[in-house]
Amino acid sequence: MRDEKSAVTVLRVLHGDAENRLVRSFRPRRRKLGPELTRVYDRLRSTWSVAEHGSVLDLGAVFANDNPVCLEIGCGRGDLAIAFAPSHPDVNLIAIDIHTRGIANILQAIENFSLVNTRVVEGDVLVLLQRIAVASLDEVWIFFPDPWPKQREQSRRLLRPEVVAQLAEVLKPGGCIRLATDIEDYWRKSSDIIASSGFFAAPTVGRPEWRIETVFEKRGNVAGLPAVDMSFERL
């Protein structure tokens, strides 16, 4: 376990075998950025990215303020981050995805809206979590996680017991995990995993007014699969 104060300076790096043993919750996919987005990405990423590897982060120093910090895991194309960040200047947002396109879209929005409350991480959240200090996050958002519907692949789901325990560690008491999914089996099993962790209160159901409809949600709606929104408060 990391202790709260020294965690900020301790170097905790997940490399080599430990990282290779991670059960990845995403499908690797490489799509080229167009020339304009490539230029944006190359110009802005060093300023507004946080590396997935490295020492434990001092989030107050990263954002130069003590505002609440939310982590959006699997930001996809970046649509929610781009809608949320400009209208919530008093909230800090870290958006992570393994795929570059959404990261580049968010970088473009950072420039377009002169955002100072947003950082991006291109990488695996299971690696990044080693950099997050104990009880330092206010909210963790997991909206439309990869469903891994086949029984034999369900161990890849992001919300599995060991990840829930890690999320509990980095959340502040009173903070929360927000989950939205249109896969009933996902929210049922995730609720059970989160409940049996003992770290969270019983879920509340309801969509945050700021959660816009993303492409993934739209697809589910078209297929007759409405989303369920749940929030689990860290005890």
Known active-site residue 146: yes
Residue 97 interacts with ligand SAM (CB under 6 A): yes or no: yes
Residue 74 interacts with ligand SAM (CB under 6 A): yes or no: yes
User: Quick one: tokens of 133?
Assistant: 């200090």
CB contact burial 53-76 (16+ within 10 A = b; e otherwise)? eeebbebeeebeeebbbbbbbbbb
Residue 178 interacts with ligand SAM (CB under 6 A): yes or no: no
Which residue number, 63 or 144, has a Cβ lying nearer to ligand SAM?
144
Cβ neighbours of residue 157 under 8 Å, at least 6 residues apart? Answer: 25, 145, 146, 147, 148, 186, 189, 190
Residue 81 interacts with ligand SAM (CB under 6 A): yes or no: no
Which residue number, 198 or 226, has a Cβ lying nearer to ligand SAM?
226
Measured distance CA(133)–CA(65) in Å, rounded: 16
Number of residues that bind ligand SAM (CB under 6 A): 21
List the one residue from 40, 69, 95, 99 that touches ligand SAM (CB under 6 A).
99
CA-CA-CA-CA torsion for 216, 124, 130, 138, nearest 10 degrees? -20
Segment near ligand SAM (CB under 6 A); pick from 106-114, 129-137, 138-146, 166-174: 138-146
Rounded to a whole number of angstroms, the minimum distance from the CB of residue 6 to ligand SAM is 26
Residues that bind ligand SAM (CB under 6 A): 25-26, 73-76, 96-99, 124-126, 143-146, 158, 214-216
What residues are labeled active site?
A: 146
